[in-house]
Structure 1
Amino acid sequence: MKGSCGSNADRISNLPRDVMQLILTFLPVKDAAKTATLSKQWRENWRANTQLVFDRDFSRMSKTELYALHSSKPLMLEIFKALLVPDGPITKFELIIPGLKPSPDIMDLIVVYLSKKHVQEFLLAFSHHLDDDGYPAIDGKVPPALFSARQLNCLKLHGCEFTAPSWFLGFSNLTFS
């Protein structure tokens, strides 16, 4: 068949916008970001992405390498930079990197930014190991800015330490599952 490999062969860039956005939600963040180089349509869809999941696939580091770091500041900066790309709201944010030693100042910036972007689902998991007594280790403090994210309807914290400020009256939109 003549002409089947012509300029009309790029069928994936002609998919409906909602299908392209759905594809992005199934890709690791680094791979989803790379789709922006495919075409103008993919670039626009990456900028419209509302769900960001940062996990081991994002860090590309083994658990041992992460534990060996004295500071995960460079990785935290990469996460913050990725947050700056989407134009609209970020409805879902997950940070699940085993062994990540969070940088409190950058973590606070991330939470403040997400609060302004109307984050609805927030999952933070700092630790996937046990302490000497066999209890889940506490590896990071939840930034106080999280308590200003009043639009949250799903909040999951693992291996985190937090103290609610005295002015905090609760998350009125949280649903329990």
Structure 2
Amino acid sequence: MKAKCSSSSDLISGLPQNIIESILCMVSTRDAVKTSILSKNWRYSWTRIPELLFMDFMLIKSKDKQQEEEDEENTKKEELTRKYEVFNAINQVLSKHQGSILEFALFMHIYDECVEIDQIITYLSRKNTVKKLTLSLEGYPSLYKLHSSFFSLNQLTYISLRHCILDHQPTVNGFGQLTSLFLDCVVSSKELFLHVVSKSPLLKSFTMININTSDDDGYSHIFSHAFICELFGYMPVIEQLHLESSYEYFRQFDSYLPMIPTPLLHLKYVHLDESFFMGNGLPFAVSLIRSSPNMEKLKLEGYKKH
């Protein structure tokens, strides 16, 4: 029996390093760090994995019911403690990480300005190896303003941003390697947005959900049908398109619809919500279909009526 246990232990310890790293890439970063206790060969293997995933609820120790009730009496203190624990865990991982980071994902709630995220983005920009970046941040109406170093991540092929602000002058070089852009509840100026898209000539997948711009009165809706048509002029190889907006956008679209500037020859999949194909949106949808001779799938999604 002892020999059998020893054999199992040797089997885990004897795995090739590339197999170990492949296994670690399939679990959360927290669980990957825990594998240090398995054996001597596993102890520092997690420091070389190229994919890092952080979710705030996974980084904080679970609390019992009594503790949760006590925390409710002092919400602000709990938020600060939670924030400290999350970023302390992330910083420990980053400080010990070796080699290239190809994918970085952060899912968390924010309650105020997060200079800690600025530091993470700056760290990643200095390494400049990240190809896939996901920032999914909750806490609306609090939005995270992306640090300027974000625009130095010129190796990115995939960007996913949720509840973020892009607020810099459009002097960035853009993302020459970018093939997929996902934006949900993002605030940006029209000039910067156009600049980023125009400097991403390889863009194949584009998702835009509830995009706003900022003005003196707060946030306002940024996209008209005319502006979207202008964007199409900078997407020569677009293959997948997803446009979605809240219902109040519907009345603000232009009554006059300009022509889509160029045929979307590569476009195969389109997903539109009813703001883009009902009422004033119908001419836009028809124009989009006519400009996409190779479209294979069209998904039209309506709002649920209660």
Q: What is the DSSP-based 3-state SS (H/G/I as helix, E as strand, rest coil) of the residue aligned with 1:126?
A: strand
Higher-RCO chain (CA-CA 8 Å, sequence separation at least 6): 1
Map Cα deviations across residues 50-81 of structure 1 (whole Å, 9 max, x no partner): 1110013234569x989851572442232122
2:29, 2:105 → 1: CA distance? 11
Q: What is the DSSP-based 3-state SS (H/G/I as helix, E as strand, rest coil) of the residue aligned with 1:3?
A: helix
1:58 paired residue number: 59
1:58, 1:2 → 2: CA distance? 36
- Of 53-62 and 82-91, deviating more is 53-62
Equivalent pair of 1:111/1:146 in contact (CA under 8 Å) = yes
2:101 paired residue number: 90
2:111 paired residue number: 101
In structure 2, what residue type is equivalent to 1:146? F
Q: Are 1:143 and 2:153 an aligned pair?
A: no
Q: What is the CA RMSD across the aligned residues, in angstroms? A: 2.7
Q: Are 1:27 and 2:38 an aligned pair?
A: no
2:159, 2:62 → 1: CA distance? 26
In structure 2, what residue type is equivalent to 1:145? S
In structure 1, what residue type is equivalent to 2:177? N
In structure 2, what residue type is equivalent to 1:124? L
State the TM-score, normalizing by the size of structure 1: 0.80
2:160, 2:93 → 1: CA distance? 21
2:130, 2:112 → 1: CA distance? 20
In structure 1, what residue type is equivalent to 2:45? N
- Of 68-77 and 47-56, deviating more is 68-77
Deviation at 1:103, TM superposition (A): 5.1
2:87, 2:113 → 1: CA distance? 7
Q: What is the DSSP-based 3-state SS (H/G/I as helix, E as strand, rest coil) of the residue aligned with 2:4?
A: coil
CA pair 5-143 structure 1, distance change in 2 beyond 3 A? same
State the TM-score, normalizing by the size of structure 2: 0.49
1:121-140 superposed matches below 5 A: 121-127=132-138, 137-140=141-144
Structure number with higher strand proportion: 2
Q: What is the DSSP-based 3-state SS (H/G/I as helix, E as strand, rest coil) of the residue aligned with 2:156?
A: coil
State the identity as a percent. 29
2:134, 2:19 → 1: CA distance? 25
1:170 paired residue number: 174
Map Cα deviations across residues 114-142 of structure 1 (whole Å, 9 max, x no partner): 12221111100111x6x5xxxxx443111
1:171, 1:153 → 2: CA distance? 8
Instruction: Pick from 99, 116, 119 the counterpart of residue 126 of structure 2.
Output: 116
Gaps spanning 5+ residues in structure 1: where? 132-136
Larger radius of gyration: 2
1:160 paired residue number: 164
CA pair 147-121 structure 1, distance change in 2 beyond 3 A? same
Gaps spanning 5+ residues in structure 2: where? 64-70, 181-204, 206-306
Equivalent pair of 2:60/2:85 in contact (CA under 8 Å) = no
In structure 1, what residue type is equivalent to 2:8? A
CA pair 103-42 structure 1, distance change in 2 beyond 3 A? farther
In structure 2, what residue type is equivalent to 1:51? E
